């Protein structure tokens, strides 16, 4: 799968590319390309945003800047999914993640300040995704959330089996995962449930399924 991210700060993604599971699949199942709007802006002095028509606070990412960025990489609007990251988008959940992980190529557009000129969303993008009903300062964390969540779904990203029995998985009926415990078996009088120390795999399995919410 290829994921292209358009951002004002490509270097912000360095940390993520060193972390598993993204690091594990990079260069294998995942090809990640980062593009900076400033590198292709048609405006002077690296300008990428402008004051909003109608007045008001904040700056808006210009449509000509986003179009030039897409043009430079794809020679126009590509035919794969181009997704604006915006609070107004469809909310990300595990089914959206699975859908994205099934794509061959996806482009993510990040904005900042007041966000995108609406024509970026309506004319340059195929769809829009929100990572939740709250406002972040820019689209880079949302892009990283999408990247991490999608990378986990790619072959070889996780240790065998560890992605199958987790929260929101079909295996758990879409529910939340059961609790985990590790040593010590008793800390401060807070014991681990006896069943987990029993060595009886059938009982452990039954207990875990009861705990799924």
Ligand X SMILES: C[S@@+](CC[C@H](N)C(=O)[O-])C[C@H]1O[C@@H](n2cnc3c(N)ncnc32)[C@H](O)[C@@H]1O
Residues lying near ligand X in the complex (CB under 6 A) are found at: 85-87, 110-116, 130-132, 134-139, 142
Q: Name the DSSP class of 159.
A: S
**Distance in Å, CB of 165 to ligand X, minimum:** 28
Instruction: Please identify, using beta-carbon distances, which residue of 131 and 157 lies nearer to ligand X.
Output: 131
* Strands ordered across the beta sheet of 2-7: 31-36, 2-7, 105-109, 81-91, 127-130
Choice between 21 and 139, CB closer to ligand X: 139
Q: Of 113 and 168, which CB lies nearer to ligand X in the complex structure?
A: 113
Coil, helix or strand at residue 35: strand
Residues 6+ apart with CB under 8 A from 24: 151, 156, 157
- The backbone torsions φ and ψ at residue 198, rounded to the nearest 5 degrees and listed phi first, read -75, -25
Least Cβ distance, residue 170 to ligand X (angstroms): 26
CB of 139 to ligand X, least distance (A): 3
* Cβ atoms of 1 and 30 closer than 8 Å: yes
User: What is the closest distance, in whole angstroms, from the C-beta atom of residue 34 to ligand X in the complex?
Assistant: 15
Closest CA to 127 of 98, 156, 106: 106
Complex with ligand X: residue 5 or 196, whichever CB lies closer: 5
């Amino acid at each position: 799968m290829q994921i292209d991210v358009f951002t004002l700060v490509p270097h912000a993604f360095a940390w993520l590319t060193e972390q598993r599971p993204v690091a594990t699949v990079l260069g294998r199942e995942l090809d990640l390309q980062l593009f900076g709007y400033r590198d292709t802006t048609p405006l002077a002095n690296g300008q990428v945003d402008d004051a909003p028509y109608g007045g008001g606070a904040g700056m808006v990412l210009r449509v000509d800047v986003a179009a030039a960025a897409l043009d430079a990489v794809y020679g126009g609007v590509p035919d794969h999914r181009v997704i604006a990251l915006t609070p107004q988008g469809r909310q990300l959940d595990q089914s959206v993640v699975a859908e994205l992980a099934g794509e061959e190529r996806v482009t993510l557009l990040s904005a900042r300040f007041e966000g995108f000129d609406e024509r970026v969303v309506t004319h340059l993008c195929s769809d829009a995704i929100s990572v939740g009903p709250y406002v972040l300062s820019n689209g880079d964390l949302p892009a990283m959330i999408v990247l991490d969540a999608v990378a986990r779904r790619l072959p070889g990203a996780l240790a065998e089996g560890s992605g199958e029995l987790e929260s929101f998985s079909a295996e758990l009926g879409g529910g939340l995962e059961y609790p985990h415990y590790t040593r010590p078996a008793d800390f401060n009088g807070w014991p681990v449930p006896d069943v987990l120390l029993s060595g009886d795999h059938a009982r452990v399995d039954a207990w875990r399924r009861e705990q799924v919410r």
